Structure 1
Amino acid sequence: MKIEEQISNLLGLATRARKTITGEELVVKEIRSQKAKLVVLSNDASKNTAKKINDKCASFNVELHVFGDRHDLGHATGKEARVAIAIMDDGFAKKLSGLLNEYNRG
């Protein structure tokens, strides 16, 4: 299985386990409250959104990865197009972090 599929499947699992928050404002709120363990941003997020999420993640020391476009992320979570996804669970965050780091090296 390709690494992109593994990442998408894991995002789907985390979503079904109710361990993800989607939507720019909600994600920013979870980063601020330091509940977000990892954030996934689509590669087609607007410049403003990307900057806001980047800055928030940097300020609150939350790991941030860019992966797929808004349709990939929406598809992975079984929703409409999604630009930002916050992972709220340590286990899922660790596993995703490993896969995303591997993906970004590739």
Structure 2
Amino acid sequence: MSSYLNIIGLAHRAGKLTLGEEHIVKEIQKKRAKLVLIAEDTGKQTKKKLTDKCSFYNIPCYMVDDRETLSQAIGQTGRVAIAVLDQGFAKKLQSLLG
């Protein structure tokens, strides 16, 4: 498991993540999301919707592994995107993914 997945796990346990497409879009609009991670195998429409929102609101957005890897990192299933709500976690993830 790569180190960025460990950070996602930590952020999840700390309650600093938002899951679910609609919730993530809301957090982006409220500018509470500091970083958005999207699984590579996310559907075209969802991927476009989230990347468009991120670029409009100027929030960093990264394509990462697949939904299974992303979901495993937080101990859930079928997660295609994650919003990080904490600046510290977001900075650390950016340094690992950048």
Same fold (TM > 0.5): yes
The CA distance in 1 between the partners of 2:93 and 2:8, in whole Å, is 8
Runs of 5+ consecutive residues of structure 1 not aligned to the other structure = 102-106
Whole-angstrom CA distance in 1 between matches of 2:70 and 2:21: 13
Q: How large is the Cα RMSD of the aligned pairs?
A: 0.8
| Partner of residue 75, structure 1 | 72
Q: Which has the higher helix share?
A: 1
Give the structure 2 partner of residue 25 of structure 1. 22
1:74 Cα offset (Å): 0.4
- Structure 2: gaps of 5 or more residues: none
State the match for 1:39 in structure 2.
36
Q: CA deviation at 1:47?
A: 0.3
Residue in structure 2 matched with residue 9 of structure 1 by the alignment = 6
Matched residue type, 2:16:
K
CA distance in 2, matches of 1:10, 1:23: 19
Measure, in 2, the Cα distance between the counterparts of 1:52 and 1:59.
Answer: 11
- Alignment of 1:84 with 2:98, yes or no, is no
Aligned partners of 2:23 and 2:80: how far apart in 1?
12
C-alpha displacement of 1:81: 1.8
CA distance in 1, matches of 2:6, 2:20: 19
Which residue of 1 is the match for residue 51 of structure 2? 54
Deviations 1:58-103 (A, max 9, x none): 01000000101111110001111211100000000000001011xx
What is the DSSP-based 3-state SS (H/G/I as helix, E as strand, rest coil) of the residue aligned with 1:51?
helix
TM superposition score normalised by structure 2: 0.97
